[in-house]
Structure 1
Amino acid sequence: MAGALPTTKGVKDHKIWKGIFAVSGIMVTLVIYGVLQEKIMRVPYGLNKEYFKYSLFLVFCNRITTSAVSAVFLLASKKALVPVAPIYKYCLISVSNILTTTCQYEALKYVSFPVQTLAKCAKMIPVMIWGTFIMQKTYKGFDYLVAFLVTLGCSIFILFPVKFWSFAGTDVSPYSKGRESTVWGVSLMVGYLGYQSETYVKVPSTYSSGISSVLPLRFVCGHLLSAIDFVYGHSDCFLDIVLLSTVATVSQFFISYTIRTFGALTFAAVMTTRQLVSIMLSCVWFGHPLSWEQWIGAVIVFGSLYSKNFLKKASTNPPPLQPMQDGAPSPVKGIP
């Protein structure tokens, strides 16, 4: 019949395809992004085995690409480019975002990608601290329990690395030799977590591309020129950076689409899965064997995160309704 409403099955199938589209987009773009991060920062380029050292240049490329693509979309959709908040607020957020991403890239020189990825999960505690003191938020006991278990699992993972290398045979990074370098890498991760949690508190809405990416003059005069000279002499590095910036930009649109369509809980579950897949791929691709203690730590972290997502999703589902009683539906109690 013309003009008939879509059937329940049709709506459900349509939502399933939307889910496949969103999950595939996030998984593909961010898994590639993770692999490229580790390759650019830890694998040498060229016959002379030279390492790319310019973390801030990667941040610069990512932000420029994302900002340019976002501006094109806004202009194409004929939306106003006038900021909805004072410019100085965007600058503060931008500085925090630049610092957290720079610390993230720099840390890869000294710690492996699996360690870095697991350490990211520990941002729950700094986020809760910032939220308590700045936003005056309150958290439930279960939230503190999950944060404790995640931090415990991350600590186990970092403190009990495997004592030998397989697959590649040796650690490919020249920076991670010795205890001092490992401590410095963990210090960079602490900076990453601190700046990222601050950004989360200042921007409670969906992540949007950096409108203002103001970089220091020293970077423009020195760091930028050295980075350009390096990529000019290593075309494969240039292609990796272009692909890194591309997938970083595309991933933001998939992230925004997923949150708008399915909500933050579904997005959190997808991101947890993406982290797990990225760790497994990094272990195989770049030769990062895990000790049995690290496996336990990983199980604690991801088990806690999945439990949190599952329980929160269950608590947000409305209870089923009984048949009408006295003209009003009533919720059915769960079967004991």
Structure 2
Amino acid sequence: METHGAGIQRLFVLAFCVAGIWSAYIYQGVLQETLSTKRFGEVGRRFEHLAFLNLAQNVLGLIWSFIMIKLWCRSSSGDTGGGAPWWTYWSAGITNTIGPAMGIEALKYISYPAQVLAKSSKMIPVMLMGTLVYGIRYNFAEYLCTLLVAGGVSMFALLKTSSKTISKLAHPNAPLGYGLCFLNLAFDGFTNATQDSINARYPKTSAWDIMFGMNLWGTLYNMIYMFGWPRGTGYEAVRFCKEQPEAAWDILLYCLCGAVGQNFIFLTISRFGSLANTTITTTRKFVSIVVSSLLSGNPLSTKQWGCVVMVFSGLSYQIYLKWRKLQKLKKRKSM
């Protein structure tokens, strides 16, 4: 009975994590699309300073992680033996803010579904770098997953976008938009590799310490970028928020969604592992495209939906392959 009860409790926690990640990031996607396409006020002005979202997200993430460290960790990684010092995150923190900034900027040039689909093809640069730089050999199934994802994204990019969707974009330019998304993926690859390296060197570092270190450097970089000479576009963004409180409220909600979503991701990874987290976040991306198409007026053609299904079939098969590999590993350990 105790085992049965523990199983139900575990299932409840998993459902709670799924609901948390889906609701936080799907709503954040809706807000991101709103801020990139909506015209605010009587004059109908656009919020052109999308990079400001990154700064706001970093600041809130920094405050949130600091509170979590004080509440749960008692002391930061710099005070606990084995934890990573805050300065070790400088390169990962900077690339972690440049990458997403490019992804957000891409929304000026391509639709939200196109951006989500392009960013779902993370495995392509990973496998490409693995083959060219490290000489890693992949099996047929892994190449098939990549082919499905690459083919789906490529075909989606080549298909004509509806005039209704194009009219909402600030500066329609598909090659530039997709280019920014793939640069986003490249920076993400470096960030993930650097984080793995830091975790290997400092195994006692907590998730909140990582979040604090990443957001600290992201905040410093974005403050210089947004408020430094000669650009100073941050002042314009703040002025816009003062004149259009609706936009300021959307930005605050966007940041809160990101902070809540990160909490659920950390909870999922700690309780169920990275594979479960990958599965939840991948399905969330698919649901985000459906929600965007239904609520935000970004109609997709039948062929485009075919491309979406193609991409997520490849991603789902990749998740299955990882699960099978994990099961084999568990069997060997139990023998």
Per the TM superposition, whether the score is higher than 0.5 is yes
Contact 2:77–2:85 (8 Å) recurs in 1: no
The answer as to 2:18 corresponding to 1:23 is: yes
How far apart are residue 197 of structure 1 and its match?
Answer: 1.8
Tell me the matched-pair count.
Answer: 311
**Alpha-carbon offset, residue 311 of structure 1:** 3.4
Q: 2:93 — aligned with what?
A: 94
1:228 correspondence with 2:238: yes
Identity %: 28
**In the alignment, which residue of structure 2 is the partner of 1:199?**
191
What TM-score comes out, normalization by structure 1 length? 0.85
What is the CA deviation profile of residues 106-157 of structure 1, one whole-angstrom value per residue up to 9, with x for unaligned ones?
0001100000000011221112234456677554332222112111111111
Aligned position for 1:324: none
Cα deviation, 1:1-47, whole Å, max 9, x if unaligned, reads: xxxxx622101111110111110000000001110110011111111
Query: For structure 1, which segment, 242-251 or 156-165, has the greater mean C-alpha deviation from structure 2 after superposition?
Result: 156-165
- Tell me: CA distance 1:152–1:239, structure 2 relative to 1, closer, same or farther (3 Å): same
Per the alignment, residue 70 of structure 2 pairs with: 75
Distance change in 2, residues 1:85/1:7 (3 Å): closer
Distance 1:319 1:122 in 2: 26
CA distance in 2, matches of 1:115, 1:150: 13
Equivalent residues in 2 for 1:210-249, closer than 5 Å: 210=214, 211-213=216-218, 214-215=220-221, 217-221=224-228, 222-249=232-259
- The range that moved more, 21-30 or 127-136, is 127-136
Instruction: Give 1:260-279 correspondences, 5 Å limit.
Output: 260-279=270-289
Match of 2:171 among 160, 165, 175: 175
Q: What is aligned with 2:157?
A: 158
Closer, same or farther in 2 for the Cα pair 1:16/1:87, shift >3 Å? closer
Aligned letter for 1:99?
I
Q: Secondary structure at the match of 1:212?
A: helix
In structure 1, what is the Cα distance between the partners aligned to 2:179 and 2:237? 24
Amino acid at match of 2:257: V
CA distance, structure 2, for counterparts of residue 319 and residue 259 of structure 1: 18
**Residues 77 and 84 in structure 2, CA contact (< 8 A), matched pair in contact too:** no
For the residues of structure 1 that align with 2:237 and 2:315, how far apart are their CA atoms?
38
Residue 255 of structure 2 aligns with an amino acid whose one-letter code is S
2:217 aligned counterpart, secondary structure: coil
CA distance in 2, matches of 1:201, 1:160: 34
Equivalent-residue separation in structure 2 for 1:130 and 1:105 (angstroms): 24
Name the structure 1 match of 2:269: 259
Structure possessing the higher radius of gyration over alpha carbons: 1
Are the structure 2 counterparts of residues 82 and 16 from structure 1 closer, same or farther at C-alpha, using a change threshold of 3 Å?
Answer: same
User: Which ranges of structure 2 fall in alignment gaps of 5 or more residues?
Assistant: 200-206
Flag the structure with higher helix content: 2
Aligned to 2:57: 62
> For the residues of structure 2 that align with 1:319 and 1:23, how far apart are their CA atoms?
26
Q: Is 250-259 or 304-313 further displaced after alignment?
A: 304-313
**Unmatched 5+ stretches in structure 1:** 1-5, 322-329, 332-336
Kindly provide the CA deviation profile for residues 157-208 of structure 1, in whole angstroms up to 9, marking residues without a partner as x.
Answer: 111134443xxx87322322xxxx2222122112212111221222236794
Change in Cα spacing, 1:136 to 1:251, as seen in structure 2 (3 Å) is: farther
Tell me, yes or no, if structure 1 residue 314 matches structure 2 residue 324. yes
Is contact 1:135-1:201 (8 Å) kept?
no
